[in-house]
Amino acid sequence: MIGFAAGMEMADMAWEVKCREEDMKQRALENERHAIDDARRSVDEKAEQLKVLANQSALFAGFSMVVLVESNISGDINGILLTFFGGVTACVIALMLVSTLNSTYMLVAILRYDCVNRDVPFDEFWRKRCEP
């Protein structure tokens, strides 16, 4: 009877070990899924931010261009002031277009990020490639 109880106890321990190993495998899979979801969420968040930034820059450049073209400037205005106004407006347009292009290029870079294999964590990828 003692041998049978010891055998049952050993079988119970073996069953618990097996269940524990299966549980650890399942948790590792769940952790991997969570990591993939977190990476995708980070990529989507940064992509949305970059899309908004690119759109706002393009709008700002467009409005600046409209102001430059549509402004009614009288003939008796100082030439230096008029040149300064045109130069500043042209600089604003150029900088906003550069901002739009930079946002678009960064958007392409992060959309190419592999969320499944993740050779590099997304935060590190963002810091290396997108932040100054």
What is the Cα–Cα distance from 41 to 86, expressed in whole angstroms?
43
Structure-block tokens of residue 58: 């393009």
Mean pLDDT taken over the chain: 87
Which pLDDT score, from 0 to 100, does residue 77 have?
A: 86
Among residues 50, 49, 55, 57, the alpha carbon closest in space to that of 93 is found at 57
74 three-state secondary structure: coil
What is the Cα–Cα distance from 125 to 32, expressed in whole angstroms?
18
CA distances from residue 34 to 9, 42, 113, 125 in whole angstroms, order as listed: 37, 12, 17, 18
Among residues 53, 39, 50, the alpha carbon closest in space to that of 106 is found at 50
Which pLDDT score, from 0 to 100, does residue 27 have?
A: 93
The secondary element (H helix, E strand) that includes residue 13 is: helix 2-70
Which pLDDT score, from 0 to 100, does residue 2 have?
A: 65
Ranges of residues in the chain with a pLDDT under 70 are: 1-2, 4
